[in-house]
Amino acid sequence: MSKRCLNILDIEICDRLHLKGYEDPIVQSLLEEIKKFISGNNYEAYVFGGILDKPETLGTWDIDMCITGAYDPPKIHKMIHHILSTGAKLNIFIDVYYCRIKEARKVYNNIVLKKYNKIKISKHQIHCAETNPIGYISFEDQGVWKDSLFVRQTSLPSKKQIKRLDYGISPSIIKLV
């Protein structure tokens, strides 16, 4: 039987763990480690998506995270790489990106206030792929490389998050740091 692997740059994640939710002890331990690293770099981090929204019985295959702070591409690249690597050690994919602080706070307030207005943001990543339980899908044609980061426009809440509203699942977001 072959392994299902996700390869991003020099990071390989095989047989990703199925996560039971935010309270999962593995998730908490991982986020504590990431929290120390991010706060030591004077950035903020937000966790959102299925790790918070889905019932424990459904779980999720990744942790969605946004980091924000000063726009310093080499530092952002290093932080995203560190976060991805930290998760990979536990076979957990962290779908992490950088966005400007103003955008991150707008999205945070929008979700906390349950307004769900679409807010356009620019995602800055170190790769150009979207993950799913089987692997990843390239979205290289949807953005540009700038300052060693892949930048693409998107709106939050996403179509997937809006669809979850139909099932009574409201988007959630937590400020990690």
CATH code (residue 51): 3.30.460.10
70: in domain: yes
Per-residue confidence of the chain (177 residues) as pLDDT tens digits? 345 677 776 777 777 788 888 999 999 999 999 999 998 889 999 998 889 887 676 778 889 999 999 999 999 999 999 999 999 889 898 999 999 988 888 888 888 777 778 888 898 888 765 544 444 556 677 888 889 888 988 887 778 777 877 778 777 889 998
131: in domain: no
Enter the pTM of the model.
0.84
Question: Which candidate, 104, 85, 86, 84, places its Cα nearest to that of 94?
Answer: 84
The domain of 99 spans 16-116+159-175
1: in domain: no
The count of structural domains within the chain is 1
Helix or strand holding residue 103 (H, E): helix 101-112
C-alpha 85/C-alpha 13 separation (Å) is 9
